[in-house]
Structure 1
Amino acid sequence: MPPAVPLPPLLLLLPPSLLLLAAARPAAPPHRPTFTCGGVVSGESGFIGSEGFPGVYPPNSKCTWKITVPEGKVVVLSFRYLDLESDSLCRYDFVDVYSGHANGQRIGRFCGTVKPGALVSSSNKMLVQMTSDANTAGSGFIAKFSAAEPHERGDQYCGGRLEKPSGSFHTPNWPERDYPAGVTCSWHIIAPKNQLIELKFEKFDVERDNYCRYDYVAVFNGGEINDAQRIGKYCGDSPPEPILSEKNELLVQFLSDLSLTADGFIGHYKFRPKKLPTTTALPTTTTVPATSTVKPTVALCQQKCKRSGTLESNYCSSNFVITGTVITTVTRAGSLHATISIINVYKEGNLAIQQAGKNMSAKILVMCKQCPLIRRGLNYIIMGQVEEDGRGKIYPNSFVMSFKTKNSKILNALKNKTCQN
Structure 2
Amino acid sequence: MGRNFCFLLGLLLADQTFSSKAQERHTFPCGGNLTGEAGLIGNEGFLGVYPPNSKCTWKITVPEGKVVVLSFQFIDLESDSLCRYDFVDVYSGHGNRQRIGRFCGNLSPGALVSNSNKMLVQMISDANTAGNGFSAIFSAAKPNERGDQYCGGRLDKPSGSFKTPNWPDRDYPAGVTCSWHIVAPKSQLIEVTFEKFDVERDNYCRYDYVAVFNGGEINDAKRIGKFCGDRPPGPIVSERNELLIQFLSDLSLTADGFIGYYKFRPKKLPTTAAPPVTTASLTTTSFKPTVTLCQQKCRRTGTLESNYCSSNFVITGTIITTVSRGGSLYATISIINIYKEGNLAIQQAGKNMSAKITVVCKKCPLIRRGLNYIIMGQVDEEGRAKILPNSFVMSFKTKNQKILNALKSKRC
Note whether the superposition's TM-score is higher than 0.5: yes
CA distance in 1: counterparts of 2:353 and 2:266, whole angstroms: 48
Structure-to-structure mapping, 1:264-275, within 5 angstroms:
264-275=257-268
Superposed, 1:251-266 pairs within 5 Å as: 251-266=244-259
For the pair 1:63 / 2:44, whether they are aligned, the reply is no
Give the TM-score normalised by the residue count of structure 2. 0.63
Aligned 8 A contact 2:71 2:136 in 1: yes
Structure 1's 170 and 398: CA in aligned 2 closer, same or farther, altered over 3 A?
same
Matching residue within 297, 300, 317 for 2:287 = 297
2:147 is paired with a residue whose SS is: helix
Closer/same/farther in 2, CA of residues 308 and 271 from structure 1, 3 Å limit = closer
Cα 1:215–1:250 shift into 2, 3 Å: same
Q: Which amino acid aligns with 2:130?
A: S
In structure 2, the partner of 1:145 is 136
After TM superposition, give the deviation of residue 143 of structure 1 in Å.
2.1
Report the Cα distance in structure 2 between the residues aligned to 1:189 and 1:354, rounded to whole angstroms: 23
Residue 77 of structure 1 aligns with which residue?
Answer: 71
What aligned pairs does 1:211-290 form with structure 2 within 5 A after superposition?
A: 211-276=204-269, 280=270, 282-287=272-277
Quick one: distance in 1 between partners of 2:347 and 2:220?
Answer: 21
Match for residue 48 of structure 1 among 43, 51, 55: 43
Corresponding residue number in structure 2 for 1:372: 364
Q: Which runs of 5+ in 2 are unaligned?
A: 1-22, 309-313, 408-412
What is the aligned-residue identity percentage?
A: 53
Asked whether the equivalents of residues 170 and 266 of structure 1 are also in contact (C-alpha less than 8 Å), the reply is yes
User: Deviations 1:348-369 (Å, cap 9, x if unpaired)?
Assistant: 86899999xxxx9976624413
Q: Classify 1:150/1:243 alpha carbon distance in 2 versus 1 (closer, same or farther; 3 Å).
A: same
Please name the residue that 2:17 is paired with: none
Q: CA deviation at 1:392?
A: 7.5
The answer as to whether partners of 2:224 and 2:273 remain within 8 angstroms in 1 is no
Aligned residue for 2:3? none
Q: Does the CA contact (< 8 Å) of 1:296 and 1:334 recur in 2?
A: no
SS at match of 2:94: coil
Q: Is the 8 A contact 1:75 1:124 kept in 2?
A: no
CA distance in 1, matches of 2:233, 2:251: 24
Shift of 1:109: 3.2
Deviation at residue 62 of structure 1 after TM alignment: 8.2
Task: Indicate whether 1:172 and 2:165 are aligned.
Answer: yes
* Counterpart code for 1:103: N
Distance 1:416 1:169, change over 3 A: closer
Larger Rg: 1
Which residue of structure 2 aligns with residue 204 of structure 1? 197
Q: Which amino acid aligns with 1:286?
A: P
Please give the residue correspondences for 1:248-397 in structure 2 after superposition, counting only pairs within 5 Å. 248-276=241-269, 280=270, 282-287=272-277, 296-298=286-288, 302=293, 304-308=296-300, 319=314, 328-331=321-324, 335-338=328-331, 365-370=357-362, 372-374=364-366, 382-385=373-376, 394-397=387-390
Q: d(CA) in 2 for partners of 1:224 and 1:69?
A: 21
User: What SS does structure 1 have at the residue aligned with 2:148?
Assistant: helix
The CA distance in 2 between the partners of 1:68 and 1:210, in whole Å, is 39
Q: Which amino acid aligns with 2:182?
A: I
C-alpha distance in 2, partners of 1:417/1:256?
Answer: 31
Determine if contact 1:47/1:145 at 8 Å carries over to the other structure: yes
**Secondary structure, counterpart of 1:146 in structure 2:** strand
Counterpart in the other structure of 2:13: none
The structural deviation recorded for 1:176 is 2.3
Distance 1:113 1:387 in 2: 36
Structure 1: 5+ residue stretches without partners:
1-29
Cα distance in structure 1, aligned partners of 2:203 and 2:244: 23
Q: CA deviation at 1:86?
A: 1.0
* Corresponding pairs, count: 357
Look up the equivalent residue of 1:180 and give its one-letter code. Answer: P
Counterpart Cα distance in 1 of 2:334 and 2:165:
43
Q: Distance in 2 between matches of 1:287 and 1:368?
A: 27
1:321-376 superposed Cα distances (whole Å, 9 cap, x missing partner): 67x8x77422468752225799xx9x986899999xxxx99766244133515376
Contact 1:220 1:229 in 2 (8 A): yes
Q: How far apart are the structure 2 equivalents of 1:400 and 1:35? A: 51
